[in-house]
Structure 1
Amino acid sequence: MTDRRRWTVLAVGTFAQAATCCFLYGGPMLVPALRADGASLFQAALVVSAPMVGLLLTLIAWGALADRRGERIVIVAGVGGAAVVLAVAAVVPGTIALGVLLALAGAAGASVNAASGRMVMGWFPPRERGLAMGTRQTAQPLGVAFAAIGLPPLARHVGVHAALWFPAVLCAVAAGLVLLLVVDPPRPARSPNSVPAASPYRGSPTLARVHLASSMLVVPQFAVASFTLVYLVRERHWDPIVAGRMIFGFQVAGAAGRIVAGVWSDRVRSRLRPMRQLAVASAALTALIAIGAATGLWFVVLGFGLAAVVTVADNGLAYTSVAELAGSEWSGRALGVQNTVQNVAAVLTAPVLAALIGASRYALGFAVVTVFPLIAIVLTPVRAERRFEELPGSPGQPVPAGDVAPVDAVQK
């Protein structure tokens, strides 16, 4: 594939992921409207967490299907299905129906999480994977940015349900673009007598530690994403639309931060050393938010803004590391596991933290959040990664696009 075409595939895959992230992770932008309709903070958090519940139930299955059938058909089916379900949610009344349909949309939209990451790993060589996966991971903050700029005014003027036409249209357009422009990466040739690759989880805890460390870093990410808008509106009395525009800017900066983190990892030939350093920064910023919330001083807004950039920057590093360590035959399933573990943390963060914060205990909530990146610092297996630096397919090693580190090599 020419350079221009593979970058087209990356751009379309990123847009498809951003379209699903608009409703998967942008749901907190509907919290003020849900509360205005009479829902408590806890009830609203349950509704906007519903898409991630559906996503959790299907991630590994979508990843296994991508390993067997290819990425393009999986993405088209899932994202197109999410568009249909969101369109139904836009016209069917009732809070319970809304939650159920959002969960179904999340189950369908999960397809792009595993398949688009696997596609990136197939088309880009290791020396460019940090940049490519960092670019692909801009989808999450860009999706939240779309939600921040579109959902609050729509929810105010046409209602929470009708506002879902916005992500429905985005998903429909994304599915069409993938169908027209995306090509599956070539798969390594296998001889008829070859033995299937062994599980990369067997004999080494490295992948499991990467999964756990990145799940710890999801907690500050989703704490900031879920509560920035409601904090600015209810505690600092900002207008929801103005606050949404501010968060849009935060999310765009966060998207740029993911690309920078990916390039950084390519330059230093490591995914996990930068990931651990970002965990240190996340702990410092959530502590700053806790102090600002306790004192009511202006720097709490600065803390939320910086944290919106830093807490999302590690995702691409973890995904790239997981795919490289898993190998080509297991990358879809490994990324499915990665997404599942991360989204378990994401689903739990909003309602648990909402219950802890209650009416206005934001200082206590973010003080607790600070503990999780501190745990990630300890869990991140940087020393284990160093054993793989000089193997073919490891960060910085020039191998043909579509190749990844052999599974049996990374297990030794």
Structure 2
Amino acid sequence: MPTTTLHRHRWAALAVLLTAEAMNLLDATIVQVAGPAIHAALGGPATAIPWFGAVYTLPFAVFLITGGRLGDLFGRARVFRIGVAGFVLASLACAVCGTTGLLIGARAVQGAAAALVIPQTIGLIRALFDGDELAKAMGSIGPVMGLSAVTGPLLGGLLTHALSWRAVFLVNVPLGLAVLAAARLLREDRAATRPRLDLAGTALAVAGTALLVYPLIDPAGTNWWLLAAGAALLVTFGFHQRRSAAPLVEPSLFTHRGFPAALAGSLLFFGATTGLTQVVPMQLQLGLGADVRTAGLTLLPLSAGLAVSSWLAGTRLVPKYGPRVMFAGLALLTAGMLAAIAAGVHAYPWALAVCGLGMGTFTVPFFTAALHRVRPHETGSAAGLLNAVQQLGGTVGVALFGGLFLSSGTATAALGLGAALTVAAAVAVLPLSSRRGR
């Protein structure tokens, strides 16, 4: 194959991978604005609204690492295609569901399919590129992830207003089919040594996490004993990982102080920010009677602030000041949430813009510092675990913030919790700012 043609082939294959990644990550947030409209159409208890998002990110989070192992075993391009096909079918099922229960089930299948797709991206990019081209290709993942996360609620609002809530899911069908048609550009790749699947560890992680999240949806309920059961299963999972001959994560990741700090910071930060983008549309639509387009557009200043601050942090602030920039970002995020509490809903546009500025200012130095001391053989496990904890944080945030709003009828308690989580995140990531922790 001529060099020019090979070059175009590789970048076209990268576009296929990034489209699939954007499609899967976008669905983690796209129903946050559409949720009340879905509930109005399908009926059922109001507590189902947070589940429309949480039931997607929960299997997405807990199956991410297992999805990576399946790619090692059976070939990353093959598992990628299976995941995309499953995602398309689940999206179609979501679009035609006639009851809340069926939609929640189809969303869970969507999340599990996404967990097959996302872990293959890095391995397939490494199989396509090397040298300087590899660095450029890998550098494209971060902006795609960030853009997908922040445009989800806006796109969900606009599609629901212009067409129907079903369009939120139907948009995945032509995109997914195009990805499948172009997946022939991908080069098959698998691990040099075949790892074993830790099915027991996966089952413990799934059950423990589900039991932790379920009571958070309805904080006024009587199911708090499930929290203890979930915590016990996750502790058992930890002991199992230490004894397992084929653990889901590299145990050596926890021997240096910085990585556990990064996991704690990721859980707290993404719990606060994903919960924020859940509770604002709920308050506007359920509390104030705003339409779905207004709810989506209200989040636009947050998206704009995140885009501007991500660019500024990556090009100017982090090269000059290093990981200390994280704390400026968390301070801005806290200030934006407190301003929203103090000034009320009329201050949301500028308060959310401040929150967006804080989010972008934090995430760029955070991910750089989180993986700074990770060794080459730990990279895949570290990236998978960090991504899984990010999705888990989002799941907890959606469940907890949505539950607080439904039980109190106001966003004040949820926003106060968000500010507290942000302060806790600042304490958690302190080791990342020191030379020793990094």
TM-score, normalised to structure 1, is 0.75
Q: CA deviation at 1:324?
A: 4.7
Which whole-Å deviations, capped at 9, do the CAs of 1:270-318 have from their partners, x for residues lacking one? Answer: 4x4333432222222222222223xx5x323211233245325544544
Unaligned runs of 5+ in 1: 189-195, 389-412
- Of 13-22 and 132-141, deviating more is 132-141
Unaligned runs of 5+ in 2: 193-245
Q: CA deviation at 1:163?
A: 3.9
The aligned counterpart of 1:374 is: 423
- After TM superposition, list the pairs within 5 Å mapping 1:74-223 onto structure 2: 74-117=79-122, 135-144=140-149, 147-152=152-157, 154-155=159-160, 159-161=164-166, 163-177=168-182, 179-182=183-186, 199-223=251-275
- Of 32-41 and 298-307, deviating more is 32-41
The aligned counterpart of 1:351 is: 399
Contact 2:332–2:357 at 8 Å: present in 1 too? no
2: CA distance, partners of 1:374 / 1:125: 40
Give the 3 Å change call, closer, same or farther, for CA 299–235 of structure 1 in structure 2.
same
1:28 equivalenced with 2:32 (yes/no): yes
* Structure 2 residue corresponding to 1:228, chosen from 265, 276, 280: 280
The aligned counterpart of 2:330 is: 279
Give the 3 Å change call, closer, same or farther, for CA 239–85 of structure 1 in structure 2.
closer
2: CA distance, partners of 1:70 / 1:260: 38
The aligned counterpart of 1:340 is: 388
Give the 3 Å change call, closer, same or farther, for CA 5–303 of structure 1 in structure 2.
farther
Q: CA deviation at 1:182?
A: 4.8
Give the 3 Å change call, closer, same or farther, for CA 162–237 of structure 1 in structure 2.
closer
SS of the residue corresponding to residue 361 of structure 1 reads coil
Contact 1:74–1:111 at 8 Å: present in 2 too? yes
1: CA distance, partners of 2:158 / 2:426: 39
Give the 3 Å change call, closer, same or farther, for CA 162–198 of structure 1 in structure 2.
closer
Q: CA deviation at 1:20?
A: 0.9
Contact 1:27–1:49 at 8 Å: present in 2 too? no
* Structure 2 residue corresponding to 1:365, chosen from 409, 414, 425: 414
TM-score, normalised to structure 2, is 0.71
- Of 300-309 and 372-381, deviating more is 300-309
SS of the residue corresponding to residue 377 of structure 2 reads coil
Counterpart of 1:78, as a letter, is G
2: CA distance, partners of 1:213 / 1:127: 31
Q: CA deviation at 1:341?
A: 1.7
Which whole-Å deviations, capped at 9, do the CAs of 1:147-176 have from their partners, x for residues lacking one? Answer: 445434544576544541113333333444
Which whole-Å deviations, capped at 9, do the CAs of 1:78-122 have from their partners, x for residues lacking one? Answer: 233211211122224221111011111111112343333566688
Q: Percent identity?
A: 17
Counterpart of 2:49, as a letter, is A
SS of the residue corresponding to residue 110 of structure 1 reads helix
Contact 1:76–1:175 at 8 Å: present in 2 too? yes
2: CA distance, partners of 1:282 / 1:68: 42
Which whole-Å deviations, capped at 9, do the CAs of 1:107-139 have from their partners, x for residues lacking one? Answer: 11123433335666885879996x876642333
SS of the residue corresponding to residue 253 of structure 2 reads coil
Contact 1:46–1:351 at 8 Å: present in 2 too? yes
The aligned counterpart of 1:409 is: none
2: CA distance, partners of 1:39 / 1:234: 15
Give the 3 Å change call, closer, same or farther, for CA 363–202 of structure 1 in structure 2.
closer
Counterpart of 2:388, as a letter, is T
Contact 1:289–1:303 at 8 Å: present in 2 too? yes
Give the 3 Å change call, closer, same or farther, for CA 267–125 of structure 1 in structure 2.
farther
Which whole-Å deviations, capped at 9, do the CAs of 1:53-84 have from their partners, x for residues lacking one? Answer: 22123111123344566654443332332112
Q: CA deviation at 1:13?
A: 3.5
Higher relative contact order, chain-length normalized (CA < 8 Å, sep 6+) = 1
Q: CA deviation at 1:376?
A: 1.5
Give the 3 Å change call, closer, same or farther, for CA 342–324 of structure 1 in structure 2.
same
Which has the larger share of helix?
2
SS of the residue corresponding to residue 326 of structure 1 reads coil
CA RMSD in angstroms comes to 3.9
Give the 3 Å change call, closer, same or farther, for CA 71–268 of structure 1 in structure 2.
farther
* Structure 1 residue corresponding to 2:21, chosen from 17, 20, 25: 17
2: CA distance, partners of 1:249 / 1:169: 29
Contact 1:22–1:167 at 8 Å: present in 2 too? no
2: CA distance, partners of 1:320 / 1:378: 18
Give the 3 Å change call, closer, same or farther, for CA 201–242 of structure 1 in structure 2.
same
Contact 2:329–2:357 at 8 Å: present in 1 too? no
* Structure 1 residue corresponding to 2:293, chosen from 225, 241, 248: 241
